[in-house]
Amino acid sequence: MKSSLKRIELTPPQILVLGFAAIILCGAVLLSLPIASATGKSLSFLDALFTATSATCVTGLVVVDTGTSFTMFGQIVIVLLIQIGGLGFMTMSTLFAFALKKRISLKERLILQEAMNQGSMEGIVRLIRKVIRYSLTIELVAAVIFAIRWSFDLGPAKGIYYGIWHAISFFNNAGFDLFGPITGQFSSLTSYADDPIINIVSMGLIISGGLGFVVISDLLEYKKLKRLSLHTKVVLSATGILIVVGALVIYIFEFTNAKTLGSMNWHGKIWAALFQSVTPRTAGANTIDLGSMRQASQFFMIVLMFIGASPGSTGGGIKTTTFTTLIGAMVAMIRGKEDIVLFHYRLGKDRIMKAITLTMIALFLVIFVAMVLSTTEDHPFLMILFEVTSAFGTVGLTMGLTTDLTVFGKIMIALMMFAGRLGPLTLAYALGPKTEKELYRYPEGKITIG
């Protein structure tokens, strides 16, 4: 007898949302086990859920110090969540499918297209192969360099373990670290503020993870194709400008601040300013005390965190291409031009509308949550706004608020991390009703703007 119940058909955005939620829940259960806790006692489920959300959404905000609060089992669970969350659970599923020589179905290709933020399914499986190959290669090279460097400080065994662990964390822009037992809880990379090797490798991982796999593929194939796509040109230009401008702003504002750059020598100041410019692009690691920075610097970092990384990457935020489109629209309007032109290409109206929509949803979300938390958390508003933006941008930087969050605050920040990782539009498509094409259009009207 046929069932009277209709089969529930999930859209690709809905599958992504449910898939990430399932991974987070599994991670929370594992992290709440006594074997995962350094004390031998179960971590509260809320704290385990918060940590699993932060790891899977590659954020880095933590309510307990990773290095001192978790055993090796717990740390391995966290780094696996980071790898799965950074590359995407569909990418990891595809990896297993490749290993089993299983065919990728049309439905799976649609989900991969949504996960990688691609405009079409053409070449999506080939892109996933490249994503896996590039990611593992970059992480392996960085892990070897880290292991050699940290072997001098920590010994060979711990140096190798720390090298592999942090290479995965930083490439996936997670920002988790294990230096709590060595340099103090929640210390991140502050003891390596002027170390050129740690700075260069860490920033290299953060930037390469934040550029997006399409851009990395374009760069590696440039020698053969002798050209770069418009997307790659925009991403590279925006990333370079934001890093340079960010470093200059932080260097200028913090130069005389004795609690941050003021006490460092000249090359330490340069490394620290450059690192703090790179890390708000959704990385989460830091080499100076962010809570001691001047308010101007902290607010500027909020702007960088809101912009975030690039599409199809391990990072969050509204993305560099969205920000560039908005700047292009402003310049075009000021110059009296109808079209936004980037590198001699005109952007389509649908791209512009999507950029505006994404930015407005993100802005409303950040402002609303910050306003709500300002009534439940007894802390300055700038600190709350910093935390909320960090969660939305899946950055992981904090001015010290995370450990003081109330139960309600932890839930709200966890939801922000989840929304930031999946993207506001993906969540809107997943939660909203299916739309049908309109059969008519209303007459055009005019209103006064400005």
Note the pLDDT tens digit of each residue in 8-30.
566 667 777 888 899 999 999 99
Q: How many residues belong to the chain?
A: 450
Record the tokens describing residue 212, joined without a space: 């997006």
* Cα dist from 263 to 31, 70, 123, 278, whole Å: 39, 33, 52, 21
The pLDDT of residue 1: 41
d(CA 68, CA 313): 30
Written in H, E and C, the secondary structure of the chain is: CCCCCCCCCCCHHHHHHHHHHHHHHHHHHHHCCHHHECCCCCCCHHHHHHHHHHHHCCCCCCCCCHHHHECHHHHHHHHHHHHHHHHCHHHHHHHHHHHCCCCCCHHHHHHHHHHCCCCCCCCHHHHHHHHHHHHHHHHHHHHHHHHHHHHHHHCHHHHHHHHHHHHHHHHCCCCCCCCHHHHCCCCCCHHHCCCHHHHHHHHHHHHHHHHCHHHHHHHHCHHHHCCCCHHHHHHHHHHHHHHHHHHHHHHHHHCCCCCCCCCCCHHHHHHHHHHHHHCCCCCCCCCCCHHHCCHHHHHHHHHHHHHCCCCCCCCCCCCHHHHHHHHHHHHHHHCCCCCCEECCEECCHHHHHHHHHHHHHHHHHHHHHHHHHHHHCCCCHHHHHHHHHHHHCCCCCCCCCHHHCCHHHHHHHHHHHHHHHHCHHHHHHHHCCCCCCCCCCCCCCCCCCC
Residue-wise pLDDT tens digits, 298-312: 999 999 999 998 887
Its sign, for the CA torsion 116, 119, 125, 130, is negative
Is 0.95 surpassed by the pTM of this model? no
- Classify the phi-psi angles of 172: left when phi > 0, otherwise alpha if psi is within -120 to 50, otherwise beta: alpha
Domain ranges of the chain: 12-425
- Which residues of the chain, if any, have pLDDT below 70? 1-12, 88-125, 424-440, 448-450
d(CA 117, CA 60): 23
- Of 79, 82, 90, 94, the closest CA to residue 19 belongs to 90
The pLDDT of residue 276: 95
Q: Which amino acid would we find at residue 448?
A: T
| 323: Cα separation from own chain's centroid | 16
**Any bridge partners for residue 346, and if so which?**
341
CB 424 within 8 A of CB 362: yes
* Cα dist from 114 to 124, 172, 350, 394, 426, whole Å: 10, 19, 17, 19, 8
Roughly how many angstroms between the first and final C-alpha of the chain, as a whole number? 64
d(CA 321, CA 396): 22
